Amino acid sequence: METTLRGVGVSHGVAIGEVRHMGTAVLEPPAKQIAAEEAEREQGRAHQAVEAVAADLMARGNLAGGEAQAVLEAQALMAQDPELMADVERRIAVGSTAERGVYDAFASYRALLAGAGEYLAGRVADLDDVRNRIVARLLGVPMPGVPDSDEPYVLIARDLAPADTALLDPALVLGFVTEEGGPTSHSAILARALGVPAVVALPGAGEIAEGTVIAVDGSTGEIFVDPDAAKRAELEASAAARKAALSVSTGPGATSDGHKVPLLANVGGPGDVPAAVEAGAEGVGLFRTEFLFLDDSERAPSEEKQVEAYRKVLEAFPQGRVVVRVLDAGADKPLDFLTPADEPNPALGVRGLRSLLDHPDVLRTQLTALSKAAAGLPVYLEVMAPMVADRADAKAFADACREAGLNAKFGAMVEIPSAALRARSILQEVEFLSLGTNDLAQYTFAADRQVGAVSRLQDPWQPALLDLVALSAEGAKAEGKSCGVCGEAAADPLLACVLTGLGVTSLSMGAASIPYVRSALAKHTLAQCERAAAAARATDSAEEARKAAQAVLSGE
């Protein structure tokens, strides 16, 4: 009998297939004691296992490329964290085996994160995955992971670590469903990059029996268990209609009455560029530069290395717009040479622009490298700062850009509610705004973007968040300047129409979403988008906002 479940749809498309479950987690190693003379050998085993796991994660990142590479390199740094290793060594010195020392040290770190207000709790899936890989290597057992199968299937897991998600084979994994996670978790972002339909935050998904046929609608978040022939035909027809609409939608982004909305791509490095070009991106709306800095947590990359990487991306978009975000370190992306190690709540501490202003040499080198990379290229370079709180922040960044001789537009990201509330003030110092809706939602609702339990508050359809978007766009319009969106909200075709109606001037997203958004915009006039935006803001919940906008745009 068909049953319908609902989670959070995070990657467009429909997948129908048999369920396969992710392998179970590594078992807790026994708590046996070792003799004192064995401690040095066990410490050596622990170090070897950590280095092997870090090397494996780096290798997986190199294979995956792009945004996935930055995520996996961050995990490799997590494995090699010097404080964690020191804790492992201390535990072994007082009698733990290598595997038990690793297990207990990671458990202690987990507890520390919870005690720090759980901002980093969203990285627990990453942390557990690193622990499991190290313990499995020490125990000499295979690392549980994606199941082996010769036939395509739908994968169900409690959560998916980046190392698993990054290397999923779309030819075998038709789609995936997780019990935990949120719309902006690493797994969700990587699923969109892969073009694999996905639903997250579905409690009880693990109870669906192995081999059961399910249909996953990554657009609506619906899961149909044992769908009958009629439901399968309906879903397949819907998917085919979407695909047909995409194939005829080409060219620059615009509403049906010709209002231009440039569609840009979010990229995490040169590896993401081919997909962006193939999708018809009109440029880059968010070039994340962290991938360069994660190779070595103790020092910044050289100016020469930065110039080479930046130029590869800039060359791919002649006459196009490329918006570069300077290094966004801190919180879940700590760097030993840049960010404090003892902050009680890194999310509310020295991160983003704050870190760079404390280390002006790092910012100056990056800005100089960007200037040299763009020299002689017919590209419209724009550079923006993350985590801008007020006009003073914006002025400090603009001054740094001018001192570095950067020939580009300077902008500010709106990720903190204060920046949205004082958009016009900030725009006295910079030339554009770019809304990072993932962090803006997180700070607006005090809801960690990685924690599935608060996923309803991470929903970009929340009317309060739409209000902040509108404030920013209205402020930019009043100053005669632009205001784009580079958060994951732009990847939702329906919400993209609403954002356009709110006055947003460009949309940037993962390359796989561009055709869907282009097609949706082309079906509606600007006036319809404005009416949908007003209807969404007039509601009191994300679900009501979504339904209200849909009703307007479908003519109901």
The β-bridge partners of 286 are 266
Pairing state between β 482-485 and 432-435: parallel
Angle at CA 195, nearest 5°, toward 193 and 200?
Answer: 85
Mapped onto helix, strand or coil, the DSSP state of residue 334 is coil
Distance between CA atoms of 336 and 81, rounded to whole angstroms?
10
Distance between CA atoms of 371 and 401, rounded to whole angstroms?
10
Structure tokens at 307: 């110039």
The verdict on whether 359 is a catalytic residue reads no
Distance between CA atoms of 189 and 401, rounded to whole angstroms?
30
Residue identified by tokens 């657009």 is 219
Residue 553, sorted as left (phi over 0), alpha (psi -120 to 50) or beta, turns out to be alpha
Distance between CA atoms of 17 and 214, rounded to whole angstroms?
6
Active-site position among 12, 186, 359, 524: 186
Structure tokens at 88: 């492992």
Query: DSSP code of 27?
Result: P
Distance between CA atoms of 335 and 358, rounded to whole angstroms?
13
Q: How many CB atoms lie within 10 A of CB 203?
A: 12
Distance between CA atoms of 189 and 210, rounded to whole angstroms?
26
- The sheet carrying 198-200 orders its strands as 3-6, 222-225, 213-217, 14-21, 153-157, 173-178, 198-200, 8-11
Helices (H), 158-296: 162-165, 186-194, 229-248, 273-278, 290-293
Structure tokens at 431: 């030339």
Distance between CA atoms of 130 and 110, rounded to whole angstroms?
12
Give the Å distances, CA to CA, from 465 to 326, 451, 457, 460, 535.
25, 18, 10, 7, 14
**DSSP conformation letters of 190-217:** HHHHHT--EEE--TTGGGSPTT-EEEEE
Query: DSSP code of 330?
Result: B
Distance between CA atoms of 350 and 96, rounded to whole angstroms?
36
Pairing state between β 14-21 and 213-217: antiparallel
Give the Å distances, CA to CA, from 208 to 9, 258, 320.
18, 47, 47
Angle at CA 58, nearest 5°, toward 356 and 201?
Answer: 80
Active-site position among 12, 401, 483, 486: 486
The verdict on whether 486 is a catalytic residue reads yes
The β-bridge partners of 17 are 214
- 21 within 8 A of 147, measured Cβ to Cβ: yes
Q: Which residues are catalytic?
A: 186, 486
